[in-house]
Amino acid sequence: MDDLKIIPNVRKNIKISGENDKLVQKCRSYFLGMVTPVDMDYSSMVNMLIEVGYKQIELKNIMRDEPLSGEIQTEQNGQDIIEGF
């Protein structure tokens, strides 16, 4: 992300499970309870959690010395995610 570009917001409708909703709200509460409170809106928190999850996947692949690209790699990553649950 060294060459971070500003991308216009894209409005998408997504379904978040009840359990994941609780996790998002719990993270928002954590940020509000810090010494210097940070009030993050729901969408920002969801986007941040997605970015953190992606970084975890990327880190796992770096540790395996495998590039994170291509359909085969994506399918393998998806399978790894499913097996993680």
What tens digit of pLDDT does each residue of 16-67 get?
A: 899 999 999 999 999 999 899 988 889 889 989 998 988 888 887 776 665 5
Q: Which of 2-6, 12-16, 33-37: highest mean pLDDT?
A: 33-37
| Phi/psi-derived region of residue 77, left when phi > 0, alpha when psi is between -120 and 50, beta in every other case | alpha
Q: Looking at the domain assignment, is residue 66 inside a domain? A: yes
pLDDT of residue 71: 47
Write down the pLDDT at residue 68: 52
- What whole-number distance in Å separates Cα of residue 8 and Cα of residue 65? 33
**Is residue 34 domain-resident?**
yes
Q: Which amino acid is at 80?
A: D
Is the Cβ–Cβ distance between 31 and 38 less than 8 Å? Answer: yes
Q: Which amino acid is at 45?
A: M
- Work out how many domains the chain is built from and give that number: 1
Is residue 80 pLDDT above 80, yes or no? Answer: no
Distance CA(28)–CA(41), nearest Å, equals: 8
Q: Is residue 11 part of a domain?
A: no
Answer with the residue of higher pLDDT: 31 or 73: 31
3 in a structural domain:
no
